[in-house]
Copies of this chain bind each other. A is one copy, B any other.
């Protein structure tokens, strides 16, 4: 296992490449910051796109309005993306503050809290996207065997906007999954390489 460019030779003699570690550590932190900003932005975008979407259609002189609240799963998508965006915003602030202060390593309890938070967010956004994608697929393709008709023929503009929202939410959920991997690494690092002075040989 040679995470962060730290190699352990098969014999026993561990080698510690300080500069490499710093460089890769910096890259990981930048990647984390970029992903969190992306989630924050796209989470808000997805929530706004879905929540502001509506279309009025006149059928035999009866006006029908399609809204995101007609499908409870879209409400779940909006809420999940708002929570993910708010959480990411807080994390972005934390990242920036720790970068400005130059604290490379967070404390163990904080690393654990971030890891747990990222995991919860990742599962939540994946669940919201999966459920919404399922409804979106039925709306687009219909289910003739069950007499569930296509909605996108009728509410084309509404459907497209929801589709854009779901696409943003897909990127949010994939970014959350990637982030939860990064935060797992951050916890491992604290256990494996945190006490560099004392026992870098552990690597």
Contacts and interface: CB of A to CB of B under 8 A. Distances in A.
Interface of A: 1, 66, 70-73, 108-109, 112, 115, 119, 122-123, 126-135, 137-139, 143, 145-149, 151, 177, 181, 184, 187-188, 191-192, 195, 198-199, 202
Contacts of A119: 181
A133 B199 CA distance: 49
Given A126-B126, A134-B134, A188-B187, A145 B70 contact: yes
Contacts of A177: 123
A139 B149 CA distance: 14
Which of A127, A181, A184, A195 gathers the greatest number of chain B CB atoms within 10 Å?
A127
A151 B192 CA distance: 55
A188 to B, nearest CB: 6
17 contacts: A1-B109, A66-B146, A71-B143, A73-B134, A122-B123, A126-B126, A127-B129, A130-B130, A132-B134, A134-B135, A138-B148, A146-B151, A148-B148, A148-B149, A184-B184, A184-B187, A191-B191
Which of A115, A129, A181, A202 gathers the greatest number of chain B CB atoms within 10 Å?
A202
